[in-house]
Chain A
Amino acid sequence: MSGILAGPVGDALRLLPDYLGSHVLVSVTALALGLAVSLPLAIASAHRPALRGVLLAVASLVQTVPGLALLALFYPLLLGIAALTERWLAFRFSALGFLPSVLALALYSMLPVLRNTVTGLLGIDPAIKQAAVGVGMTPRQSLMMVELPLAVPVIMAGIRTSAVWVIGTATLSTPIGQASLGNYIFTGLQTQNWVFVLFGCAAAAALALAVDQLLALMETGVRLRRHARVALGGLGLALILAGALAPNLARPHATYVVGAKTFTEQYILAALIEQRLNAAGLSATRREGLGSNVIFAALAAGDIDVYVDYSGTLWANQLRRDDARPRAEVLAEVKSWLAAHGGIAMLGPLGFENAYALAMTRARAQALGIRSIADLASHAPTLSIAGDYEFFARPEWAAIRRVYGLSFRQERQMQPEFMYPAIAAGEVDVIAAYTSDGRIAQHDLVVLDDPRQAIPPYDAVLLAAPKRADDRALSEALAPLIGAIDVTLMREANLRATGGGNASPAEAARWLWDEIEKRKKKQVGWVERQRNPSFWVPRP
């Protein structure tokens, strides 16, 4: 590979068959489902004003729910249903990814189809409808032979609007575990890979535009009764569908699903796990950009097989503990709790901590004489703090506030990527940083001490789904990672994949593995030297 294919565009292009295929599949399924539901509903309600009013109001209401929230709401809903079907019908379906995306997008697609179908049917000349009755048509024949064909152009316009909405909104299915063109956008935002972000946007826009134009061709074909145009448009859509799906069908189904949360370190570690599984001859795929609670529920349900979480996160979110305990004690308690609650296996700690820590610029901290969170308490009412989308809702934050009596002038939520530039520019005074983040050193931030230990330890731990608890192939493939990554190594890898380094998470993961290997060799060499002193004796 040379030239452009070696850069981020090349990376993006290599991922295109997977992302585009998944995007098309989820969009088409959602549209088909949406049509299958909304067309009959629209037909049934066209001449029933009360039903029509209720339907259109509900569909409009759905539109007011932000797309991301709508998609996210379907995951817990389906998780509940999946638990019920497992209990009563002894079968379980995956509540992550495809199904919630399709259901939410189908719901989203309904309004334009409903509204246009109703408008189209109500807009037909009453004289034509009377003629249909007069020549001896049954109501059903009148609908199928006269009313629907005459309403088709208006209905097609609704379908076009729906298609564009669904294709655009499908980019938001990434956080609930469905691969889509949104993966470019979410990964790109996390790793400051703007080529990825632009590529994702452009690909989604191009797909939406192409589908819209083909549907427009069919629409004019129907209106002008040019069957060739309708056929051409249909052919184009079929080609897009076949072209997008063929590579996916050809690819073997991955055995292991590796999960990742929404930040750079998680992308790198997921890539590392995938690479190790592949190296061991196991097929694997990644589900990235999942929220803390979604990813844990997905692991417990077996929708994903393995991911890296942090002991403190589990301590607070799952064990509901807010007391601070030493690192080893937290690890041991979390491990036994996980085993007892649903059988999640903790394969072991990776060796570093990624704790939440309150950080300030060195200059500002010195000017205010702040060294610890305790010092912060008296200044907090005049200061602002920024954290990621989860932080202010997490029990750790509640514990910090309670223990130190903190009350800030302003709390701002932002993408971690924008948090560091924001504090460097003086837009916020304090940020909830991550201790394994390379940007703490890069921006010359100081991490404030936590003398009362309000923040629990956050050992990165490798978790496996209950169904994988006794999977030797998995634990053996990942064993070399246990205890192998210290915080300096992780910081360096994180820095490489964020902004400055310009490496993709997969490249950072490969670098990380090379470093792990180097260190192991050094250790092995040292052990060899201890065990066999003659090793160093020059041969005669």
Chain B
Amino acid sequence: MTPAATIAFKDVSKVYDDGRVRALDGVSLSVREREFLAIVGPSGSGKTTLLQLINRLAEPSAGTAEVEGVDVRAVPPIALRRRIGYVFQGVGLFPHMTVAENIAVTPRLIGWDRARMDARVDELLDLVRLDRGQRARYPHQLSGGERQRVGVARAIAAQPKIVLMDEPFGALDPINRDAIGGDYRRLHEQLGLTTVMITHDMLEAVLLADRIGVMRAGRLIAEGTPRELMTGTHGDYVDELMATPRRQAERLNALMAREAAP
């Protein structure tokens, strides 16, 4: 039995400026429970808009977005956002709040008591592999990688089942990026999350995601597991896109082999 769809887009479109800009054009896509979906595509392809339809940061012009089988328009947006984690592009930590206050912001909004929030902050710092001594520091005192770990901790603080990530690791150096990506994937498994992640890094999508959706000019032009997309043909653009990580890996292998030769 296939698990029920946690998130489903049914023929959603989104136009801006009285129809002059078409950000989304008839996209249908579903994300199963505990699935990790990556959405890839160039800038302006509609990835972020699609993600924002899920927690009503944006509203569709046509079609419906459903979360756990319910049209999101029937759910009050504030309540919806409080039960969906969100990791923002460029982190988006509140600069006037400490690490602990940033992490506990959603629990505070839904009225947890102080002891429960404190315990949760410690638990989350452990989960995202940050020192508990960082609690009282402010975002500007942290490194980029530490900040993004706090961003992840904040997104999952109120124990959401769904986490949305908008190019979460884009601004990080390669080592941090790899480490945090791997750590998040582990959390995704461990906590049984359903994750939708936007990225323009194909390699990251291939290595982290269960399934990948490819967007271009507001349309979903391909979707499937990394293996499915990397084999077979899905049109010139997708094939070219999917060839990139493979070509990189092959070049790397060739390089390693030559270095290893006497």
> Is A131 close to B, CB under 8 A?
yes
CB-based contact B55/A134 at 8 Å: yes
In this complex, what residue of A is CB-closest to B154? A135
Asked if B5 is at the interface (CB within 8 A of a chain A CB), the reply is no
Within 8 A of A (CB), among B78-122: 78-79, 81-82, 86, 88-90, 92-96, 105-106, 109-110
Task: Convert A111-130 into 0s and 1s, putting 1 for each residue whose CB lies closer than 8 angstroms to a CB of B.
Answer: 00000000000000001101
| B57 interfacial by beta-carbon distance below 8 Å | yes
Give min CB distance, B45 to chain A, whole Å: 20
C-beta contact mask, A122-147 vs B, less than 8 Å → 1, else 0? 00000110111111111001000110
Instruction: Say if the beta carbon of A519 comes within 8 Å of chain B.
Output: no
* Contact partners of B57 in chain A: CB under 8 A: 130, 133-134
Tell me the smallest distance from the CB of A131 to a CB of chain B, in Å.
Answer: 3
How far, in angstroms, from A57 to B55 measured CA to CA in the complex? 40
Assess whether A141 is in contact with B109, with CB atoms less than 8 Å apart: yes
A234 close to B (CB within 8 Å): no
B82 touches A136 (CB 8 A): yes
Partner of B138, one of A131, A136, A145, A225: A225
> How would residues 35 to 77 of chain B score, 1 for a CB under 8 Å from any chain A CB and 0 otherwise?
0000000000000000000010100000000000000000000
Task: Looking at the assembled complex, report how far the CB atom of A64 sits from the nearest CB atom of chain B, in whole angstroms.
Answer: 36
Contact A225 B96 (CB under 8 A): yes
User: What distance in Å separates the Cβ of A367 from its nearest Cβ neighbour in chain B?
Assistant: 78
Q: Are A137 and B109 in contact (CB under 8 A)?
A: yes
| CB-CB nearest in chain A for B87 | A134
The distance in angstroms between the C-alpha atoms of A396 and B110, with both chains bound, is 76
Contact of A135 with B138 in the complex, beta carbons under 8 Å: no
CA of A5 to CA of B241, assembled, Å:
91
> Which of B78, B79, B96 has the most C-beta atoms of chain A within 10 angstroms of its own C-beta?
B96
Please indicate the chain A residues that have their CB under 8 angstroms from the CB of B93 in the complex. 131
Does A149 reach chain B (CB closer than 8 Å)?
A: yes
Q: Which of B90, B92, B106 contacts A136 (CB 8 A)?
A: B106
Task: Return chain A residues, CB-CB under 8 Å to B95.
Answer: 128, 150
Residue of A nearest to B155 (CB): A135
Please tell me if the beta carbons of A136 and B78 are within 8 angstroms of each other in the complex.
yes
Find out whether the CB atom of A149 lies under 8 angstroms from the CB atom of B78. Answer: no
A134 touches B86 (CB 8 A): yes
- Report chain B residues within 8 Å CB of A146: 94, 96
Interface flags, A150-194, vs B, CB<8A=1, else 0? 100000000000000000000000000000000000000000000
Taking the closest CB of chain A, its distance from the CB of B50, in whole angstroms, is 15
Establish whether residues B81 and A132, one from each chain, have CB atoms under 8 Å apart when the complex forms. no
The interface size of chain B toward A, counting residues with CB under 8 Å, comes to 21
Chain B residues in 8 Å Cβ range of A133: 57, 81
B106: nearest chain-A partner, CB-CB: A135
Is there an interface contact between B96 and A149, defined as CB atoms closer than 8 Å? Answer: yes
Residue numbers in B under 8 Å from A135 (CB-CB): 81-82, 86, 105-106, 109, 154
Across the interface, name the chain A residue whose C-beta is closest to B90.
A127
Q: Are B96 and A134 in contact (CB under 8 A)?
A: no
Q: Which of A208-244 contact B (CB under 8 A)?
A: 225
The A contact surface, by secondary structure, is: helix
Q: Which residues of B contact A132 (CB under 8 A)?
A: 94
Which among A130, A135, A149 has the highest number of chain B CB atoms within 10 Å? A135
Q: Are A130 and B81 in contact (CB under 8 A)?
A: no
- In the complex, residue of chain A having the shortest beta-carbon distance to the beta carbon of B80: A136
Q: How far is the CA of A141 from the CA of B78 in the complex (A)?
A: 11
Kindly identify which residue among B82, B94, B154 contacts A128, using a CB–CB cutoff of 8 Å. B94
Q: How far is the CB of B232 from chain A (nearest CB, A)?
A: 37
Report the minimal beta-carbon distance from A130 to chain B, rounded to whole angstroms.
Answer: 7
> Is the CB–CB distance between B81 and A134 below 8 Å?
yes
Known: A136-B109, A137-B109, A141-B109. A131 touches B81 (CB 8 A): no
- Bound CA span A145–B106, Å: 12
C-alpha spacing A94/B86, complex, angstroms = 59
> Inside 8 A of B105's CB, which chain A residues have their CB?
135, 145
* A150 neighbours in B (Cβ, 8 Å): 95-96
Among B79, B92, B110, B154, contact of A130 (Cβ-Cβ < 8 Å): B92
Give the complex CA separation of A132 and B94 in angstroms.
8
A residues near B79, Cβ cutoff 8 Å: 136
Residues of the A chain whose Cβ atoms lie less than 8 Å from the Cβ of B82: 135-136
Residue of A with least CB distance to B85: A135
Q: Given A127-B88, A127-B90, A225-B138, are A136 and B96 neighbors across the interface (CB < 8 Å)?
A: no
Contacts of B110 in A (CB 8 A): 136
Most buried by A among B55, B78, B82, B154: B78
Q: A135-B86, A138-B78 are in contact. Are A128 and B106 (CB under 8 A)?
A: no
CB distance from B116 to the nearest CB of A (A): 17
Closest residue of B by beta carbon distance from A134 = B86
Closest residue of B by beta carbon distance from A131? B92
In the assembled complex, how far is the CB of residue A124 from the closest CB belonging to chain B, in whole angstroms? 10
Return A150 CB to nearest CB of chain B, in Å: 6
Question: How far in angstroms is the closest Cβ of chain B from A120?
Answer: 13
Q: Please give me the residue from chain A that is nearest to B81 by CB atom.
A: A136
The answer for the CA separation of A149 and B95 in the assembled complex, in Å, is 10
Q: How far is the CA of A130 from the CA of B93 in the complex (A)?
A: 11
Chain B: CB-nearest residue to A222:
B96
Which residue in B78, B94, B109 is a CB contact (below 8 Å) of A131? B94
User: In the complex, A131 Cα to B150 Cα: how many Å?
Assistant: 13
B55 CB contacts on chain A under 8 angstroms: 134
Alpha-carbon distance A149/B105, docked complex (angstroms): 15
Residue of A nearest to B138 (CB): A225
Chain B residue with Cβ nearest A132: B94
Chain B residues near A138 (CB-CB < 8 A): 78
Cβ contact within 8 Å between A128 and B92? yes
Chain B residues whose CB sits within 8 angstroms of the CB of A149 once the complex forms: 96
Q: Which of A136, A138, A146 has the most CB of B within 10 A?
A: A136
Residue of A nearest to B56 (CB): A133
B150 smallest CB distance to A (angstroms): 12
| Assembled-state Cα–Cα distance A150/B139 (Å) | 14
CA distance A134 to B85 in the complex (A): 8
- Complex Cα spacing A145 to B88, Å: 18
Chain B residues with CB under 8 Å of A141's CB are 109
The distance from the CB of A530 to the nearest CB of chain B, in whole angstroms, is: 90
Report A123 CB to chain B, min CB distance, Å: 13
Query: Which residues of chain B are within 8 angstroms of A130 by Cβ–Cβ distance?
Result: 57, 88, 92
CA distance A289 to B231 in the complex (A): 95
Residues of B within 8 A of A145 (CB): 94, 105
| A131/B88 in contact, CB under 8 A | yes
13 CB < 8 A contacts A-B: A127-B92, A128-B94, A128-B95, A130-B57, A130-B88, A134-B81, A135-B81, A135-B106, A135-B154, A136-B81, A136-B109, A137-B109, A138-B78
Add 15 more A-B contacts to A130-B57, A136-B78 (CB < 8 A): A127-B90, A128-B94, A131-B92, A131-B93, A131-B94, A134-B88, A135-B81, A135-B82, A135-B86, A135-B106, A136-B106, A146-B96, A150-B95, A225-B96, A225-B138
Nearest 5 interchain pairs by C-beta: A131-B92, A136-B82, A136-B81, A134-B86, A149-B96
